[in-house]
C-alpha cells in the first residue's frame, strides 16, 4: 500500500444503486446494486480495500484496468472506468460502470462516499511557487498553539491525530485526499492545512473539496511561468472552491490574481508602499527573524520565527493572515504566540538548521535546487548578518550545473557541486565526488561560527518512517560529515 494513504477507520457504507442515481450513471445489468455496499474509493490498485469502488483511470504508461483481476481479488465491489477500461473488464464478476472521464469523476464520487463536509474540518489550502510547505506547517502549528485540533498534508508528510506518514505526492490524489479529510473528521480535527501543487490543480485532485481560505500565492519565477501559474491558480479563487483568499501582491501575478478573484480576498505585502490590506515588517535577530504584520482596524501581530530572512517573515505573516481571515481574532493569535515564544517549527528540508558541536559551523539543508531559489536562501542567510555562507549543491542531474557558478557572488568561496559529470566552462565551481566529502571541505572552510547552505533535492524522498517516527538520512549525513571534519 502507498505509504501516504490514510483512511477513515469507521466508514459508513453507501449503496451502489444510490451512487448511480446520484451521478446519473447507467446501472450495469445482472447485478443487484441495491444489495452492494460501498465503503471506500481507490484509483490505485496497491491501496484497494474490500468494499471499495475501484476507479480505473488511464495513466501516462498504463491503464488502471490492467489491474482489474488483482483488485477484484482484493475485494472491490464495483469498477468505474472509461470505455477502454470497460473492454478489459468484460468478464469481471463485479459491476462495471462506464463513464467517459473517470478522472474528472473521481473526486466527486469520493466526496459522496466519504461524505466530505466543508465545515468538518475547515480546510486551509496553501498554494504558491515557494513557501507552500513552510506556510502549511506554520498554519497547523499556530492552530495548535491556539488550541484548535488540526490535520496536515504537505509534500513531506501527512498527519492525522498521532498518525504520521511520509508523502509521495505534494497533494494526494482526489480519492486519497477525501479519505484523509474523512479520517480528520473522525478524530475531531476542526481545521486542516493542505499544501496544493500545480499538478493537483491540473490533475483535478481537488475535485469535490471546498476550502475556507486559500493563499498566499507567493510567486517567484519567469514571465512564462507566471502566465501558467496564473491560469492554474485563478481556479482556486472561485466561490465553488473557496470562501476567502489571501494573496501576496509582491509579484505582478499576485496582483493579477487579485483582479481575477471571484471571492473576497485580502492582500499581503512586505513592501511598505504597496497599499496591501496586511503589511509585513521584519528584521534579522540572533537565532531568526522578528516581524510585525499590520492590518486594517488596528489588527497587529508581532512575533518571531527561528528561520532567517524576509521569506521566513512573509511565510509566518501569511499563516497568521490566513487564520485571521478564517475568523480567528488577532488578539487570540498574539496571545498564543506570546505564550509559546513565537514560531519554532522544524520544517524538514526548508532551511533546516543542523548544528555542529560547540561553536562549529551551522548547516542549513534545503531541497529546492532552482538557482533562483538557492539565491533566495543565500540572501536569507546573508540578511541574518555575519560572513557570507558557503554553498554545497548535490543536484538531481547534470543539466545546467554551470548555472550554480552564477551564485558565487553570494557565497564565501566557489560553490561546491557534487557530481560525477565532466563539466567544462564553469570556472566558478568546485567539484566533489560525494556529498560527505563536500560538506567536510565546506565545514573546514567555514570554520567556527560559519554557515553552509546544503542543497539536497532528494531530501524529501529519502525520509522514511521507523516505528512512527520520521527518519531523515540527510540530516544524519550532515551530522556525520561535521563530526568527521572535527566538529
- Residue 462 has what pLDDT? 87
Residue 462 CA to residue 127 CA, distance in Å, equals 24
Count of CB atoms within 10 A of residue 258's CB? 16
Going from the first residue of the chain to its last (487 residues), give the mean pLDDT of each consecutive group of 10, the final group possibly shorter.
76 96 94 97 95 94 94 97 92 94 96 96 97 97 97 94 90 96 97 97 95 97 93 97 98 98 98 95 93 95 96 97 98 97 92 85 94 92 89 87 90 92 78 94 93 94 77 92 93
Question: 69: number of CA atoms within 13 Å, CB side?
Answer: 3
14-114: which CATH topology? 3.40.1390
Q: What CATH number does domain 352-484 carry, 3.40.710.10, 3.90.190.20, 2.60.40.10, 3.90.1150.50?
A: 3.90.190.20
**β-sheet with 78-81: strand ranges across:** 40-42, 52-56, 78-81, 96-98
The answer to whether the Cα torsion of 354, 357, 362, 363 is positive or negative is negative
- Residue 1 has what pLDDT? 41
Residue 304 CA to residue 299 CA, distance in Å, equals 17
Q: What is the pTM assigned to this prediction?
A: 0.93
Count of CB atoms within 10 A of residue 64's CB? 25
**Site of grid cell 543565500:** 378
Cell numbers that stand for 303 in this block? 512575533
Q: Which long-range contacts (CB under 8 A, 24 or more apart) does 240-243 make?
A: 240/210, 241/206, 241/209, 241/210, 241/211, 241/214, 242/125, 242/210, 242/211, 242/212, 242/213, 242/214, 243/210, 243/211, 243/212, 243/213
So where are the chain's domains?
14-114, 122-340, 352-484
**β-sheet with 362-366: strand ranges across:** 352-355, 362-366, 451-455, 390-393, 416-418, 430-432
Does residue 55 contact residue 38 with C-beta atoms inside 8 Å?
A: no
Cell numbers that stand for 168 in this block? 509521495
- Residue 2 has what pLDDT? 47
Q: Which helix (H) or strand (E) holds 179?
A: helix 174-186
- Domains 122-340 and 352-484 belong to one CATH topology: no
Question: Could you tell me which residues are beta bridge partners of residue 390?
Answer: 452
Q: What CATH number does domain 122-340 carry, 3.40.50.720, 1.10.3720.10, 3.40.190.10, 3.40.1190.10?
A: 3.40.1190.10
Amino acid at each position: 500500500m502507498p505509504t501516504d494513504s490514510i483512511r477513515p477507520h469507521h466508514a459508513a457504507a453507501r449503496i451502489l444503486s444510490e451512487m448511480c442515481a446520484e451521478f446519473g450513471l447507467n446501472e450495469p445489468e445482472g447485478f443487484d446494486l441495491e444489495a452492494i455496499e460501498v465503503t471506500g474509493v481507490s484509483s490505485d490498485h496497491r491501496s484497494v480495500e474490500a468494499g471499495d469502488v475501484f476507479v480505473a483511470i488511464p495513466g501516462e504508461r498504463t491503464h488502471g484496468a490492467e489491474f482489474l483481476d488483482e483488485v477484484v481479488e482484493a475485494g472491490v465491489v464495483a469498477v468505474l472506468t472509461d470505455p477502454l477500461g470497460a473492454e478489459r473488464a468484460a468478464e469481471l464478476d463485479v459491476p462495471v460502470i462506464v463513464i467517459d472521464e473517470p478522472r474528472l469523476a473521481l473526486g466527486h464520487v469520493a466526496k459522496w462516499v466519504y461524505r466530505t463536509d466543508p465545515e468538518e474540518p475547515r480546510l486551509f489550502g496553501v498554494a504558491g511557487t515557494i513557501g507552500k510547505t513552510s506556510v502549511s506547517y506554520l498554519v497547523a502549528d499556530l492552530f495548535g498553539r491556539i488550541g484548535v485540533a488540526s490535520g496536515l498534508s504537505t509534500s513531506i508528510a501527512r498527519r492525522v491525530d498521532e498518525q504520521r506518514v511520509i508523502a509521495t505526492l505534494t497533494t494526494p490524489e482526489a480519492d486519497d485526499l477525501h479519505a484523509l479529510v474523512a479520517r480528520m473528521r473522525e478524530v475531531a480535527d476542526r481545521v486542516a492545512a493542505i499544501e496544493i501543487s500545480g499538478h493537483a490543480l491540473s490533475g483535478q485532485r481537488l475535485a469535490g473539496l471546498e476550502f475556507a481560505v486559500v493563499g498566499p500565492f507567493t510567486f517567484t519565477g519567469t514571465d512564462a511561468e507566471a502566465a501558467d501559474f496564473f491560469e492554474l491558480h485563478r481556479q482556486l479563487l472561485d466561490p465553488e472552491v473557496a470562501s476567502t483568499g489571501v494573496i501576496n501582491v509582491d509579484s505582478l501575478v499576485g496582483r493579477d490574481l487579485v483582479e481575477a478573484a471571484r471571492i473576497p480576498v485580502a492582500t499581503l505585502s512586505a513592501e511598505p508602499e504597496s497599499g496591501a490590506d496586511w503589511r509585513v515588517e521584519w528584521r534579522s535577530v540572533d537565532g531568526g527573524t522578528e516581524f510585525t504584520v499590520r492590518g486594517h482596524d488596528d489588527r497587529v501581530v508581532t512575533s518571531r520565527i527561528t528561520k532567517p530572512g524576509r521569506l521566513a517573515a512573509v511565510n509566518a505573516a501569511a499563516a497568521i493572515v490566513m487564520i485571521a481571515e478564517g475568523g480567528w481574532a488577532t488578539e487570540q493569535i498574539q496571545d498564543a504566540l506570546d505564550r509559546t515564544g513565537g514560531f519554532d517549527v522544524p520544517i524538514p528540508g526548508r532551511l533546516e538548521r543542523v548544528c555542529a558541536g560547540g561553536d562549529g559551523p551551522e548547516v542549513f539543508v534545503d531541497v529546492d535546487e532552482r538557482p533562483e531559489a538557492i539565491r533566495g536562501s543565500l540572501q536569507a542567510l546573508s540578511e541574518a548578518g555575519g560572513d557570507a555562507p558557503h554553498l554545497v549543491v548535490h543536484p538531481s542531474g547534470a543539466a545546467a550545473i554551470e548555472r550554480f557558478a552564477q551564485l558565487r557572488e553570494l557565497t564565501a568561496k566557489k560553490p561546491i557541486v557534487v557530481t560525477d559529470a565532466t563539466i567544462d566552462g564553469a570556472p566558478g565551481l568546485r567539484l566533489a565526488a560525494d556529498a560527505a566529502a563536500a560538506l567536510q571541505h565546506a565545514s573546514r572552510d567555514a570554520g567556527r561560527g560559519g554557515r553552509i547552505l546544503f542543497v539536497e533535492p532528494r531530501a524529501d524522498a529519502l525520509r522514511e518512517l521507523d516505528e512512527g517516527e520520521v527518519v531523515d538520512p540527510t540530516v544524519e549525513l550532515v551530522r556525520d560529515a561535521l563530526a568527521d571534519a572535527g566538529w
